[in-house]
């Protein structure tokens, strides 16, 4: 997680912001300016923008993300003086992630679109898959956002399992969903991706977009190159994923850019029972070691 610099102008825990009443003032009736929750189980205020450990809104919301600042090209050599210091922030995110997740036990990550709402079949399937996997003693890890991620966290809680959200600083998403019990927010995608791979025993990949595909092919690459072992990858939704699998077969495989063995890195199914059996068996075989 990023450092908190009081000199940067963020309010401390005891100081009211410009939009919030002081402790001795009555709360505003404006629903957009809610009182800070005192109950740890209360939902996170979605009006806040998440930036590492910070929660910002109004004029404090940045116009760029930490990832963008790191990767953008510059015409000057100023980066020589700035990037070495940025390494310390990156290091702090690794330390925060490792420290927060080291004792969660067996865990499975569920990926999918943030745009699929609770009235979709994919959401309900993800919720049921998470519930049944969590009932077998596994923590559930998601990206902590809405849609399929929310469904995964909800299913974990319904089964009494550990519900984990690994959030990321994005310009169009704000905060973690209400069903996350252990949440860690990251500035940098590559740190977050490391946490998914290190602390998961397997991936369940629901219908999703670019972010879901990014995590999927990252997992393919890590398994293909032997960086992770005993790591099941399940694609759920044959109608959704069939076009991708056909392209991999008729283009990548035919052109020789992947091998026949690579097509066995995953399972494609519509059967929730099969998902649970594949993940359950793989976790039982994995023992107590982590996925690395």
Question: Tens digit of pLDDT per residue, the chain (292 long)?
Answer: 444 444 444 444 444 444 444 444 444 444 443 443 434 444 445 567 777 767 777 777 888 887 787 787 666 666 656 778 889 989 999 999 999 999 999 999 999 999 999 999 999 999 999 999 999 999 999 999 999 999 999 999 999 999 999 999 887 666 899 999 999 999 999 999 999 999 999 999 999 999 999 999 999 999 999 999 879 999 999 999 999 999 999 999 999 999 999 999 999 999 999 999 999 853 444 444 444 4
Dist CA 200 CA 273 (whole Å): 20
- The CA distance from 56 to 151, in Å, is 26
Cα separation, 222 vs 95, in Å, equals: 22
Question: Which pLDDT score, from 0 to 100, does residue 170 have?
Answer: 81
- How many whole angstroms separate alpha carbon 98 and alpha carbon 216? 22
Q: According to the model, what pLDDT value does residue 61 have? A: 80
CA–CA gap between residue 241 and residue 102 (Å, rounded): 33
Q: Are strands 49-51 and 54-56 parallel, antiparallel or unpaired?
A: antiparallel
pTM: 0.72
The closest alpha carbon to 87, from 74, 72, 70, belongs to: 70
């Amino acid at each position: 997680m990023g450092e908190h610099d009081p000199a940067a102008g963020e309010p401390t825990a005891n100081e009211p912001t410009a939009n919030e009443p002081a402790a001795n003032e009555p709360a505003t009736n404006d629903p957009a300016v809610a009182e800070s929750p005192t109950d740890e189980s209360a939902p996170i205020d979605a009006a806040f923008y998440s930036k590492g450990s910070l929660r910002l809104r109004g004029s404090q919301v940045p116009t760029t993300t930490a990832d963008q600042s790191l990767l953008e090209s510059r015409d000057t050599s100023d980066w020589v003086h700035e990037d070495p210091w940025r390494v310390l922030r990156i290091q702090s995110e690794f330390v925060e992630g490792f420290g927060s997740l080291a004792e969660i036990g067996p865990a499975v990550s569920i990926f999918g679109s943030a745009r699929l709402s609770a009235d979709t079949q994919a959401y309900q399937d993800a919720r049921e898959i998470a519930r049944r996997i969590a009932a077998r003693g596994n923590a559930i890890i998601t990206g902590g956002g809405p849609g399929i991620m929310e469904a995964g966290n909800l299913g974990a809680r319904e089964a009494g399992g550990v519900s984990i959200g690994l959030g990321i600083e994005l310009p169009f998403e704000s905060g973690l969903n209400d069903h996350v019990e252990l949440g860690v927010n990251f500035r940098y995608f590559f740190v977050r991706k490391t946490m998914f791979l290190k602390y998961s025993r397997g991936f369940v990949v629901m219908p999703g977009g670019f972010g879901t595909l990014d995590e999927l092919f990252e997992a393919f690459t890590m398994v293909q190159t032997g960086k992770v072992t005993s790591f099941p990858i399940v694609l759920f939704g044959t109608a959704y994923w069939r076009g991708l699998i056909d392209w991999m077969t008729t283009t990548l495989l035919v052109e020789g850019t992947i091998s026949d063995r690579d097509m066995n890195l995953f399972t494609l199914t519509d059967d929730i029972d099969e998902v649970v059996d594949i993940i359950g068996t793989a976790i039982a075989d994995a023992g107590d070691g982590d996925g690395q």
